[in-house]
Amino acid sequence: MKVVVFCKSVPDTETRVKLKDNRLDKSEIKYILNPYDEYAVEEAVRMKEAGKVDEVIAISMGPERAREALRSALAIGADRGILVKDDALDGSDTYVTAKVLVKALEKDGVDYGMLLFGQQAIDGDTWHVPGQVAEMLGLPQTGSIIKLEVDPDAGKAVANRLVEGGEEIHEMSLPCVVTCRKGLNEPRYPSLPNIMKAKRKPIQDYSIADLGLSPEEVGKAGSLTEVLSYSLPPKKEAGKKVEGEPEEVVQALVKFLKDEIKVI
Amino acid sequence: MSVWVIADQRNGALRKPAFEALSEGRRLADELGTSLEAVIVGHNVEGLCNEIASYGAEKVYLIDHELLATYNPPAYARAIGDLIKEKQPQIVLMGGTMTGRDLMPRIAARVGAGLAPDCIKLEIVDGKLKATRPAIAGKVRVEIGYKSDIQMAILRPNVFEKLEPDTSKSAEVEKVPFEPTDLDTKQKLVEFVSKETGRPELTEAEVIVSGGRGMKAPENFAIIEELADLLGAAVGASRAAVDAGWRPQSDQVGQTGKTVSPNLYIAVGISGAIQHLAGMSSSKFIVAVNKDPDAPIFNVADFGVVGDLFKVVPLLTEEIKKIKAQEG
């Protein structure tokens, strides 16, 4: 069985966000492989190590820097990469992103048994693309999983999905879509030899023309939503800070909870 | 051209975010001068239609089938998506439960509609929906407009005001037939493993008491739990406390855990790393207890206590008990 892992290049969590003319100023941002995608890559590579999967393909849509995200996935153990890169893709919403990724899968022709995603990307935080891809391909889907058992011979997967108040256990026929989150596994740190090896693994580039798409179908032109503006969240005013004997500070806190928040 | 709400139910009970979505849907429908209609999917859930009506829905589409008894993403998306394509509502809302976050993208893809997730504000501008949502770990706010005729949005739980239900109201109920297809049987929820604690769900709680690295050991969370139970609160944890194995993954608040917006968030022994702030900075009030006066959590706290949590928290619990006893 072959599996495909979807990878996104995202700003590092520690990045300070600056705005310029109501848009994101990306000049000083450091980019990493989306941490949620690491769980997906790790899970796919473990399936390969367990002999259940014979090829792990990492795919990304994004600008040139997305190649580095793919290299990170290859260093963890993915076998090859696909990068969909085109200036016309700038400004694409999640619907277009899903559409383009589906086209790239078709173009590659990979006979996949499973598509693995991170539950969300830590920049957009939409959680959209996995479900959109699953629907476009007519596949079953279990999101936010913390446990996965796959039986390629029986064509089945069982996944535990973390929800409010417990876990839903879903049984799916293959091929299927899963989205991965913390709790599923502990992603490895790639070894230096594996990082070096990743540099020699193949990455296939596609433009939108390669995928049979026109500029009008992608980017801002093809999107169903548009970003009207970015703004910084309202700055929170510094609150009270008390220090002193426990009895005194607790009295002050109780007064605050009682008079201002009215929770007691 | 109505406003629709997909009313999320589990085990025959409507979820709190569904009431918030209905309330916000009612407000938007009034502003547009149109009707509020709801969709409910499940099995033997007709009894919930009255409750939906009490939040202002004039019509309820009921999709009731054995195969829909538990959450089935392809089947739910097909049933609801095809109904949306047929009836063409202008706006479709759903609360951001785990089902809502999972299901809405599928429906939006099926319908070919624009979708905004995790919204904290919705407005009507020139007759169309405009959504505001946080992104990049809460570091920016994004305003989203729509180019599709059908405009879809997922609402962050605990942010939108819930109306008082009016049980004198009723709604027209339209039963929508459901014919299973091959796709619907490709997936089945085979078991639900309950991890109920008797406390409210983090994402829906009015009050949360969270513990971090400063708790030092798992058994020390007893003082957090005692305070939480006194306040009817949920118990949360920082990544440090979860990674140390002191608390389950489901308790984690922050970037790799849950995003919460309670009325009151009490952070105990939590330094306030950016990853934690990402998950709780939209709380209405924040109280922090930490022995380090320079802990970043104090930058977002409305009320900060610099001190030893092992003295402060039990004392606070005692004081609240006294007040409750007086009010008796």
pLDDT score for B90: 98
Shared-domain flag, residues B58 and B153: yes
Q: Which residues contact B186 (CB under 8 A, 6 or more apart)?
A: A139, A140, A172, A173, A176, B74
Q: How far is B169 from chain A (nearest CA, A)?
A: 30
R_g of chain B computed on alpha carbons = 21
Phi first, then psi, for residue A210 (nearest 5°) are: -60, -30
Is-contact A229 B135, C-beta < 8 A?
no
Task: Tell me phi and psi for residue A246, to 5 degrees.
Answer: -50, -45
A132 to chain B, any CB pair closer than 8 A? The answer is yes
Q: Per residue in B73-98, is it b (16+ CB within 10 Å) or e — as a string?
A: bbbbbbbbbebbeeeebbbbbbbbbb
Note the pLDDT tens digit of each residue in A47-58. 999 999 999 999
Å between B299 CA and nearest CA of chain A:
6
Residue A233 placed within a domain: no
Measure the CA–CA gap between B296 and B298, rounded to whole angstroms: 5
CA distances from A126 to A56, A132, A264, B18, B149 (A): 25, 11, 36, 19, 21
Cβ distance A164 to B264 less than 8 Å, yes or no, reads: no
CATH of residue B253's domain is 3.40.50.1220
Contact: B305, A24; criterion CB under 8 Å:
no
Domain that holds residue B306: 202-327
Q: What is the pLDDT of residue A264?
A: 87
Q: Which one of A9, A32, A258, A263 makes the best mutation probe of the B interface by having the most chain B beta carbons within 10 Å? A: A263
Of A13, A138, A239, the CB nearest to B137: A13
CB atoms within 10 A of CB B144: 23
Between β-strands B128-135 and B140-146, what pairing exists: parallel, antiparallel or unpaired? antiparallel
Q: Is A233 on the interface with B (CB under 8 A)?
A: yes
The shortest C-alpha distance from A170 to chain B (Å) reads 4
Do B73 and A95 count as a contact with CB atoms less than 8 A apart?
A: no
Do B54 and B151 fall within a single domain? yes
With beta carbons under 8 A apart, name residues in chain B contacting A122: 136-137, 255
What gap in Å lies between CA B246 and CA B267, rounded to an integer? 16
Q: Is residue B216 domain-shared with residue B151, that is, in the same domain?
A: no
Q: How many Å lie between the alpha carbon of A202 and the closest alpha carbon of chain B?
A: 31
Cβ contact, residue pair B115, A225, below 8 Å: yes
On chain A, the residues whose CB falls within 8 A of the CB of B115 are 94-95, 128, 224-225
Within an 8 Å CB–CB cutoff, is residue A154 touching chain B? Answer: no
Is B197 inside any structural domain?
no
Residue pointed to by tokens 């109280």? B287
Instruction: Kindly report the length of chain B.
Output: 328
% of chain A beyond a pLDDT of 70: 100
Q: What is the CATH number of the domain that holds B66?
A: 3.40.50.620
The total number of structural domains that make up chain A: 1
Q: What is the DSSP string of B281-311?
A: TT-SEEEEEES-TT-THHHH-SEEEES-HHH
Boundary residue ending a domain (B154, B186, B218): B186
Residue B294 included in any domain? yes
Q: Please state whether the predicted TM-score (pTM) of the whole model is above 0.90.
A: yes
Q: Say whether both B151 and B223 belong to one domain.
A: no
Phi and psi, residue B162, nearest 5°: -95, 130
Same domain (yes/no): B175, B238: no
Whether residue A136 is contained in a domain is answered as: yes
Closest residue of B to A222, CA-based?
A: B147
Longest dimension (CA), chain A: 71
| B206 and B296 co-located in one domain | yes
- Interchain CB distance below 8 Å, B316 and A253: yes
The alpha-carbon gap from A50 to the nearest alpha carbon of chain B, in Å, equals 24
| Residue matched to tokens 């202008």 | B90
Q: Terminus-to-terminus CA distance in chain A, angstroms?
A: 58
Beta-carbon separation of A260 and B285 below 8 A: yes
- B141 & B240 share domain: no
Cβ within 8 Å, pair B74-A135? yes
> Which tokens belong to A154?
């029986």
Is residue A250 included in any domain, yes or no? no
Q: Cα(B268)–Cα(B287) distance, rounded to whole angstroms?
A: 8
CB contact set of B219 (below 8 Å; sequence gap of 6+): none
**pLDDT score for A14:** 81
Same domain, B237 and B308: yes
| pLDDT tens, residue order, chain B (328 aa) | 899 999 999 999 999 999 999 999 999 999 999 999 999 999 999 999 999 999 999 999 999 999 999 999 999 999 999 999 999 999 999 999 999 999 999 999 999 999 999 999 999 999 999 999 999 888 899 999 999 999 999 999 999 999 999 999 999 999 999 999 998 999 999 999 999 899 999 999 999 999 999 999 999 999 999 999 999 999 999 999 999 999 999 999 999 999 999 999 999 999 999 999 999 999 999 999 999 999 999 999 999 999 999 999 999 999 999 999 998 6
Residue B247 belongs to a domain:
yes
Q: Please state at what angle helix B98-111 crosses helix A129-137, rounded to 10 degrees.
A: 50
B168: closest CA of chain A, how far (Å): 31
Strand order in the sheet with B207-211: A240-243, B303-306, B285-290, B264-268, B207-211, B234-237
Q: How far is CA B279 from CA A48, A255, B103, B156, B203, in A?
A: 34, 27, 22, 12, 10
Distance CA B257, CA B236 (A): 10
**Listed residue (B155, B164, B178, B9) closest to B96, CA to CA:** B155
Nearest-Cα residue of chain A relative to residue B309: A246
Q: CB-CB: which of B71, B137, B264 is closest to A263? A: B264
Q: What is the pLDDT of residue B310?
A: 98
The answer to the question of residue B62 being in a domain is yes
Residue A185 lies in a domain: yes
Count up the domains in chain B and report the number: 2
Is A250 close to B315, i.e. CB distance below 8 A? yes
Q: Report yes or no on A171 lying in a domain.
A: yes
Within 10 Å of residue B59's Cβ, how many Cβ atoms?
Answer: 18
Please report the pLDDT score of residue A28 as a whole number: 84
pLDDT tens-digit series, residues A209-256:
999 999 999 999 999 999 999 999 888 777 999 999 999 999 999 999
Domain boundary among B160, B186, B212: B186
Are B160 and B251 part of one and the same domain?
Answer: no
| Residues belonging to chain A | 264
Q: Does A260 contact chain B (CB < 8 Å)?
A: yes
Determine whether the interchain pair A182/B252 forms a contact, defined as Cβ–Cβ distance below 8 Å.
yes
Tokens at residue B219, please? Answer: 């058994």
Instruction: Give tens-digit pLDDT for A163-220.
Output: 999 999 999 999 999 999 999 999 999 999 999 999 999 999 999 999 999 999 999 9
DSSP A255: H
CB atoms within 10 A of CB B193: 10
Is B148 found in the same domain as B50?
yes
- Nearest Cβ partner of A226 from B134, B145, B252? B145
d(CA B234, CA B231): 9
| Domain assignment present for A127 | yes
Compute the nearest-CA separation of B142 from chain A (Å).
Answer: 5
For residue A114, give its domain range: 2-222
Q: Same domain for B10 and B105?
A: yes
Note whether residue A50 is domain-resident: yes
- CATH number for A194: 3.40.50.620
B148 and B224 part of one domain: no
The amino acid sitting at A123 is D
Angle CA A12–A14–A15, to nearest 5: 70
Among B138, B158, B186, residue at a domain's last position = B186
Give me the residue label for tokens 């999972």: B102
Residue B196 domain-assigned (yes or no): no
Size of interface A-B (CB pairs under 8 A): 275
pLDDT class for A138, splitting at 50, 70, 90?
A: very high
